[in-house]
């Protein structure tokens, strides 16, 4: 057991009691409870054979880890997937059964194969039964995996998005969750794995569909129940080095589309646990200068963790005149407006770790502390070419998440803190920058 107070333990992000975790799986809300399943190696704090870990929450903030939902079996390891609530008993498991869709990964020294399977619960997720006639989809390609299933109300069909291979994905439809018909193949250039597929209404009142992959590349388009039609160029919602394999919750009853990611590549030396999830964000779709773009913003439930607030209406950061908020907090939610003036750059020291807003190159960057082995080393974020920016930072023990201009640009980064006297310092080595509407909310731990 753990008290969740280890030196590198995230204090308001989900991490497992012990051992390795990666992709979030099976995100679903039912009967007042948010379910978070996740890839979990039950026997080691490195990647290996996979179980589906399971955690529950009433508020998307405080989590309680439960027994594993899925265990490896003769068909293979339990790879990523999704979950739905079968309100109308489509599959015959029972009304309101929770159904998990997962990839069975049969990997050995000479070959590997992936098939798509299901399991279900009729007691609100306490116990799980694997479908006796698995798989529901046999091998299609050498890499097919990560089934993402949603309900499409207009066509009265269940829809599955599935990764095939390279940058190719497919859509399938079903009436009963057991037999599936492929309706489309589509490409998501420079992306692979872990598809997500869902509708959002933009700020002009138009319903659009989002198709994304594990790296955070997405298209906006339309969907007629069989075919997704791209209506945008490829965009990126995850600009950070460590955000990967994001998924959104199904069956939310409040109209929100809430997303969480694996913060891949974090470093947690000498810890019995390894890796963490991002903080949940609410997604919105906004038309900006003729482009329809995803915006991500931390869910409002974070305010329940606010402990003490430090505010300052305005200050000037100049050479020899740094701004040091009066706090000793190690975890906090910090926001401000910055006007760059004629300054070349604004720097922040966050618990001994450098963050840079380079105005000359219109770039935000973080000092590196570990290589993201999947998406590459995204060290920097391109900033809007504007004189004034809004910035929000979520700071946990070993992670920093940034949200710029109301979440139009966002990114997830892991770090190890260095030595420091003050948790936050604003400084510059050139002309002044002006900080407006500064607020730092010290946070309580979710593990108390």
CB atoms within 10 A of CB 426: 22
How many whole angstroms separate alpha carbon 222 and alpha carbon 186? 13
- List CB contacts of 415: < 8 A, sequence separation 6 or more: 350, 353, 366, 367, 369, 398, 399, 400
Q: Determine the straight-line distance between the first and last CA of the chain, rounded to whole angstroms.
A: 15
Considering only CA atoms, give the Rg of the chain. 22
What b-and-e string marks burial along 249-260, b requiring 16 or more CB atoms within 10 Å of the CB? bbbeeeebbbbb
Per the CB < 8 A criterion, the answer to whether 392 and 403 are in contact is: yes
- List CB contacts of 372: < 8 A, sequence separation 6 or more: 241, 242, 244, 264, 265, 378
Give 302's DSSP letter: G
Residue 81, token pair as written in the block:
């997937």
Query: Three-class SS of residue 381?
Result: strand
Backbone dihedral region of 3: left (phi > 0), alpha (psi from -120 to 50 degrees) or beta? alpha
Please list the active-site residues.
23
Long-range residue pairs from 359-368, CB within 8 A, at least 24 positions apart, any chain? 364/402, 364/404, 364/411, 366/241, 366/400, 366/413, 366/415, 367/415, 368/241
CB atoms within 10 A of CB 370: 17
């Amino acid at each position: 057991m753990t008290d969740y107070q280890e030196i590198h333990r995230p204090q308001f992000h989900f991490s497992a009691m012990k051992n390795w975790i990666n992709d979030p799986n099976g995100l679903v809300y039912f009967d007042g409870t948010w379910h978070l399943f996740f890839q979990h190696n039950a026997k080691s704090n490195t990647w290996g054979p996979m179980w589906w870990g399971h955690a529950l929450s009433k508020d998307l903030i405080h989590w309680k880890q439960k027994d594993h939902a899925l265990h490896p079996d003769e068909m293979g390891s339990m790879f990523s997937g999704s979950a739905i609530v079968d309100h109308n008993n489509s599959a015959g498991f029972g009304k309101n059964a929770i159904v998990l869709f997962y990839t069975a990964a049969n990997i050995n020294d000479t070959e590997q194969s992936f098939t798509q399977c299901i399991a279900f619960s009729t007691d609100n997720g306490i116990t799980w039964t694997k479908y006796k006639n698995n798989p529901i989809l046999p091998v299609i390609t050498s890499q097919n995996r990560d089934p993402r299933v949603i309900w499409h109300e207009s066509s009265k069909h269940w829809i599955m998005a599935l990764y095939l291979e390279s940058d190719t994905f497919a859509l399938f439809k079903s009436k009963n969750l057991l037999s599936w018909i492929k309706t489309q193949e589509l490409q998501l250039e420079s992306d692979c794995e872990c598809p997500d597929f869902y509708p959002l209404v933009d700020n002009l009142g138009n319903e659009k569909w989002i198709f994304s992959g594990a790296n955070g590349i997405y298209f906006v388009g339309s969907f007629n129940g069989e075919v997704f039609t791209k209506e945008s160029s490829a965009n990126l919602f995850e600009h950070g080095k460590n955000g990967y394999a994001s998924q959104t919750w199904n069956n939310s009853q409040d109209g929100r589309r809430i997303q969480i990611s694996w913060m891949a590549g974090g470093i947690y030396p000498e810890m019995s646990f390894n890796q963490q999830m991002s903080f949940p964000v609410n997604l919105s779709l906004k038309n900006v200068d003729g482009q329809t773009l995803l915006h991500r913003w931390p869910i409002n439930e974070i305010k329940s963790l606010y402990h003490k607030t430090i505010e300052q209406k305005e200050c000037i950061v100049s050479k020899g005149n740094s701004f040091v908020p009066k706090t000793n907090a190690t975890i906090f939610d910090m926001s401000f407006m910055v006007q760059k003036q004629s300054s070349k750059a604004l720097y922040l020291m966050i618990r001994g770790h450098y963050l840079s807003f380079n105005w000359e190159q219109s770039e935000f960057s973080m000092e590196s502390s570990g290589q993201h082995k999947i998406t590459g080393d995204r060290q920097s974020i391109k900033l809007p070419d504007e004189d004034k920016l809004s910035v929000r930072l979520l700071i946990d023990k070993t992670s920093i998440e940034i949200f710029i201009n109301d979440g139009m640009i966002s990114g997830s980064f892991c770090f190890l803190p260095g030595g420091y006297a003050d948790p936050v310092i604003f400084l510059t080595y050139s002309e002044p920058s002006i900080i407006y509407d500064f607020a730092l909310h010290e946070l309580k731990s979710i593990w108390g």
